[in-house]
Amino acid sequence: MVHLVDTSEVRAENVDDYLELVRDVGVAVMTDAGATFVSCATTSREVGEAVHVQVVWAFDDHERWNEIRRNLVLDPRWYEYGARAATLRTGGTRRFYTPAPLSSL
């Protein structure tokens, strides 16, 4: 299993709009493409810093990710999602995580 972890930096005043976008567009686009929604979490808005929004997706392997990417490229909603997200975030990262079983060490 691979987890794709998207972490977006968002100004505190844009967090609700960003979460709404993820809920209303991002989840539909990604799940229709073949990814499984795992979680969404934020850092605190109350500390006077930019908020980090973390969205986690799962899929079987990198071969499956290539299929998902192809599906995204063919879906016009993906471009809407990306364009709208770009107006709300100030930065971020995308990382792919795979299990690292400690029992094998």
> What pLDDT, in 10s, does the model give residues 10-69?
999 999 999 999 999 999 999 999 999 999 999 999 888 899 999 999 999 999 999 999
pLDDT of residue 101: 85
CB distance 11 to 67 below 8 Å: no
2-97: which CATH topology?
Alpha-Beta Plaits (3.30.70)
Would you say the pTM of this structure is higher than 0.85?
yes
Q: 29: exposed, middle or buried (C-beta count within 10 Å: 0-12, 13-18, 19+)? A: buried
Task: Provide the pLDDT confidence category of residue 75 given band limits of 50, 70 and 90.
Answer: very high
| Between 62 and 101, residue with greater pLDDT | 62
> Residue 103's pLDDT band (boundaries 50, 70, 90)?
confident
3-state helix, strand, coil in the chain (%, to 5): 50, 30, 20
